[in-house]
Amino acid sequence: RTGLDDKLLDTIVKYAPEKMVYISCNVSTLARDLVRLVEVYDLHYIQSVDMFPHTARTEAVVKLTRKKPDSK
C-alpha cells in the first residue's frame, strides 16, 4: 500500500510506455503518484472497485496514455 517507489516513478516518467494501467488499493498513494505521472500521461479513466464489500477498502483502476508531443 506504499504506492510506487521513487526510482520506479523516475523510470516510468523517463521511458514513458505508451499505455499504462495502474491498480491501487490506497487512494492517497495513488493521488501522490498521479501527480508525477500526469507530467507525461493523460488520465483517461479511473474507476473504483469494491473488492471487499462491507469494508472501507476499495481498489482503483486507472488508465493512462502517454501525452502527445503537442499536449500540455
What tens-digit pLDDT sequence spans the chain (72 residues)? 789 999 999 999 999 999 999 999 999 999 999 999 999 999 999 999 999 999 988 999 999 999 988 755
Residue 49 lies in a domain: yes
Cβ-Cβ contacts under 8 Å for 48 (sequence gap 6 or more): 58, 59, 60
pLDDT at 14: 93
pLDDT at 70: 75
Considering the candidates 16, 20, 25, 46, report the single residue annotated as catalytic: 25
Task: Please give the tally of structural domains in the chain.
Answer: 1
Residue 12 lies in a domain: yes
Cβ-Cβ contacts under 8 Å for 12 (sequence gap 6 or more): 4, 20, 37
Rounded Cα–Cα distance for residues 36 and 16 (Å): 12
pLDDT at 9: 95
Residue 71 lies in a domain: no
Range of the structural domain that residue 40 is part of: 6-66
Instruction: Indicate if 61 belongs to the active site.
Output: no
Residue 21 lies in a domain: yes
